[in-house]
Structure 1
């Protein structure tokens, strides 16, 4: 109970307010949300615990920069693809059971990844992880909408942000320590006890109102077409310029496949009885603009998490543990902004100033990170990371809140998963593009520094051949173990490459500012999803009764004329 007492103190605005708009006490809400929070923590922890050790993992598995990128992209790809599927299932089936299923899928795949012996094995396990992660991301937001009204949801959204920040801070630290102490494989097992606890807590504390059964159909064709379009796009972004030329037959076939699959997907969705992504959602200006803003948020969140960790190890020579400590400023910004904005939104009922401010901070943070070098003072880099983290914290959860506030309550699952889908898709494409840009830039810079590399190798004497063979293998280097003469070259090269990759984030961040600036400033509703559905049904019943009474009244007031009467003969 001490954990509940702590959480209760974090979301309390005044001591006089003891119940939410829906009539539940804060303790009841937190008990219901505790399993969701722990499930989200499991998902984030399993992802972030390997972030700082990923350079070591890829090095041990003889992988290259493309493998490094795909280990991350595979998870984001399947998360993006599966998110709208989970969201649609949430509108059709038992949400509690679906959430527990997502946890089970995620953890089993995570455990299997611990036995990986090749980059391909690891990538496959990470892809299955994404299937579970998509469910956890979408369903947690949908279930929260079942329990809490949009007006009250701000402060609880802050709790989700805090849990994400905790996992993002603790994950890299724990991952670095585990890697340095027991080896990187143990990183994949650390989430299992938390997952078991989450399953038990969800079963005991989450009690959702029974929903009437109805005949449903799954849009299998839509799932296949969406998967095909997204997969082809990410494969093209990741491999173009390396495995084949940007302008080549492979490019034409892949981009053509993306266009054909997308067009067919739209046609199928327009005709499907239960579409995977109801295209009618895009008639809602709030949903459309929130989707555009979410793309930039996804790129910032996932891109920064991946490449700042790589910057610390490859450009500043940090160990996995040190890299985890060095990325704390970004997570600190996310934590402070997420909780603070959530509390202010609930207290004053105004959300737009915080979302706009967050989008502006995304632009500032991403632009500043394009200027970092291997010798940039760490205090300066920390400030840049804090600004970017604060921008993510103010926009990520609140964009979901804004969409849920204006969406038809019967489509909450599809709308919530839609925003989450495009955020994951943005992250997938962003990481792929930034990874491809980094790999190309590093290759060019190493080519320019050939003479410096030859001189550095020549100074190593008997060790020169061994280091030359290792560098020519194409695997991701472990910069912290290099001799000083080589280390300074690779730190400079990777710093320039990583700062160059952040250039691709800036235009998307600017698009995010434009999108949120035009979001309709709709006041937050004080009813949760269940109450909104009940109110809609009550309104419909009232209208039906009123119309029936009007018809009856007219019938009684106006006797039928002779021409209106019918006889048996007629």
Structure 2
């Protein structure tokens, strides 16, 4: 292994970067696919295992633990070395996958999905942080764009792939197929990735910060899952979750301000670039995934396509995401500048929301796909840019914490976006059609309505969805105004990077322990 001259940033052996990167991308694919891969398989799973009233938790449990542990893994990587943390995370993910495939009840499947999410959250954070270690910010922009493309494509493609596997094999193979691919990723990273040891410093684990942040994240995740669905927004349960989340976040801020080694160092937010990157990440997660959820529902409710076809119609969004991430990554690599990409992302996403707000029952599929492609372009322009921006202005000692914070804020935005947009859609349906539980009406139920009632419902749903997109426009414009203040700091070798310590030894006795 060689060191980058003068940068203090390690470089993977130049004969092995493709193998290391391939292992990281396979792990990224698995972790992000599993956020939504069971969506289309849930009816089949419920029919097999029973527990129909619990089936939504199969997805929620994974997202909850995935989000809650993200900051923890980033800090652990800073303290103990990212390679070790990555290997621990992938082992947890694979154990969880095997147990999910073998589950014989809905309760056990939910518990094992939570375990799987603990590994998946660690994988995603560790991968982006490892890339930040391997490459300086300018060169890393190119590789981060590939990783972000995998992240975005797998997030969008999960429901489609899950449906195909369930139809042609069994829902259990959704989890079993993780095993051979995960072993490949584990082997490639364990054998070929060598990073410097973590700095020799006494680790003082921020237990208070970990517990408070995980509990607050759980409250937010439950809020996003229950509000407007299982419980009305005015119910004591939802009001209690909101109050609890606020109190827990306030307590966490107090604890973090006093912790010797906080899980998320609040001093990072003194840097305007880091703060803006997190604002853009939050809003991008909020609007993009929220829109994706309800456009897919619109396609089924109004146009009458099947869930699998709705997944296929998301491909234009995926294409836009791929184009934007790849092109922006290449431009950042060649120019060393990322300043305008977050603002461009918010502007293009706002344009997409304006266009999506015009959808009606008469809108053709070609028009809808065109609007989704524009939304994908908007999302792709900021996906890896905010990670690169945060890493570029962060000392190497805090690289993992900075990376995990951006990932965490994006996931929080995703959770809250789906919940709040769902409440707006429900409110719109209740106001126009008298349906107090609008989105609990399934596409199958709509298709069986008498023609006049079906047409009335489709009109009501279309109008209610317009309210969702109109709500997102001002949020995007505020984020655009914030993004315009992003400083033009050239991508350069890591600042405050001390000389890299000696690489980790590779004795045979440690080969079986991450």
- TM-score interval, normalised by the smaller of the two chains: 0.7 to 0.9
What SS class does the counterpart of residue 275 from structure 1 fall into? coil
Say whether residues 1:41 and 2:25 are aligned partners: no
- Cα gap change, 1:126 to 1:476, in 2 (>3 Å): farther
Q: Show CA shifts across 1:363-403 (max 9, x none).
A: 12233223323441111111111111111111011101011
Q: Paired residue for 2:399? A: 412
Aligned ranges for residues 381-530 of structure 1 at < 5 Å? 381-442=368-429, 447=434, 476=442, 478=444, 482=448, 485=451, 491-525=458-492, 527=493
What SS class does the counterpart of residue 518 from structure 1 fall into? coil
What SS class does the counterpart of residue 196 from structure 1 fall into? helix
- Cα gap change, 1:185 to 1:281, in 2 (>3 Å): same
Q: Show CA shifts across 1:108-160 (max 9, x none).
A: 33444446677665554443333222211211111111110111111112211
Quote how far apart the aligned CAs of 1:280 are.
0.9
Say whether residues 1:158 and 2:145 are aligned partners: yes
Quote how far apart the aligned CAs of 1:100 are.
1.9
How far apart in 2 are the matches of 1:478 and 1:343?
Answer: 45
> Would the aligned equivalents of 2:98 and 2:175 in 1 still touch at CA under 8 Å?
yes
- Partner of residue 268 from structure 2, selected from 270, 281, 303: 281
Say whether residues 1:345 and 2:345 are aligned partners: no
- Cα gap change, 1:50 to 1:67, in 2 (>3 Å): closer
* Structure of higher CA gyration radius: 1
Say whether residues 1:361 and 2:348 are aligned partners: yes
Say whether residues 1:373 and 2:366 are aligned partners: no
Say whether residues 1:222 and 2:209 are aligned partners: yes
The alignment's C-alpha RMSD in Å is 3.5
TM-score, normalised to structure 1, is 0.77
Say whether residues 1:138 and 2:88 are aligned partners: no
Query: Unpaired runs of 5+ in structure 1?
Result: 1-20, 450-470, 537-570
- Cα gap change, 1:46 to 1:131, in 2 (>3 Å): same
Aligned ranges for residues 87-106 of structure 1 at < 5 Å? 87-106=74-93
> Would the aligned equivalents of 1:176 and 1:319 in 2 still touch at CA under 8 Å?
no
Quote how far apart the aligned CAs of 1:331 are.
0.3
- Partner of residue 317 from structure 1, selected from 300, 304, 324: 304
Quote how far apart the aligned CAs of 1:328 are.
0.2
- Partner of residue 83 from structure 1, selected from 41, 45, 70: 70
Say whether residues 1:29 and 2:17 are aligned partners: yes
Q: Paired residue for 1:553? A: none
- Cα gap change, 1:136 to 1:380, in 2 (>3 Å): same
What SS class does the counterpart of residue 106 from structure 1 fall into? helix
How far apart in 2 are the matches of 1:28 and 1:330?
Answer: 33
What SS class does the counterpart of residue 34 from structure 2 fall into? helix
What SS class does the counterpart of residue 486 from structure 2 fall into? coil
- Cα gap change, 1:241 to 1:207, in 2 (>3 Å): closer
- Cα gap change, 1:535 to 1:202, in 2 (>3 Å): closer
Q: Paired residue for 1:534? A: 499
Aligned ranges for residues 89-238 of structure 1 at < 5 Å? 89-114=76-101, 123-168=110-155, 171-236=158-223, 238=225
Higher deviation after alignment, 341-350 or 126-135: 126-135
TM-score, normalised to structure 2, is 0.84
Q: Paired residue for 1:50? A: 38
Quote how far apart the aligned CAs of 1:251 are.
5.1
> Would the aligned equivalents of 2:391 and 2:403 in 1 still touch at CA under 8 Å?
yes
Higher deviation after alignment, 93-102 or 340-349: 93-102
- Cα gap change, 1:145 to 1:23, in 2 (>3 Å): closer
How far apart in 1 are the matches of 2:325 and 2:151?
Answer: 10
**When the two structures are aligned, how many residues end up with a matched partner?**
492
- Cα gap change, 1:107 to 1:500, in 2 (>3 Å): farther
Quote how far apart the aligned CAs of 1:77 are.
3.0
Q: Show CA shifts across 1:11-54 (max 9, x none).
A: xxxxxxxxxx9777865433332211111011123334334445
Query: Unpaired runs of 5+ in structure 2?
Result: 1-8, 502-514
How far apart in 2 are the matches of 1:295 and 1:170?
Answer: 21
What SS class does the counterpart of residue 497 from structure 2 fall into? helix
Quote how far apart the aligned CAs of 1:203 are.
1.3
> Would the aligned equivalents of 2:340 and 2:484 in 1 still touch at CA under 8 Å?
no
How far apart in 2 are the matches of 1:224 and 1:185?
Answer: 33
How far apart in 2 are the matches of 1:192 and 1:381?
Answer: 37
How far apart in 2 are the matches of 1:406 and 1:235?
Answer: 34
Higher deviation after alignment, 184-193 or 108-117: 108-117
> Would the aligned equivalents of 2:137 and 2:494 in 1 still touch at CA under 8 Å?
yes
Quote how far apart the aligned CAs of 1:178 are.
2.5
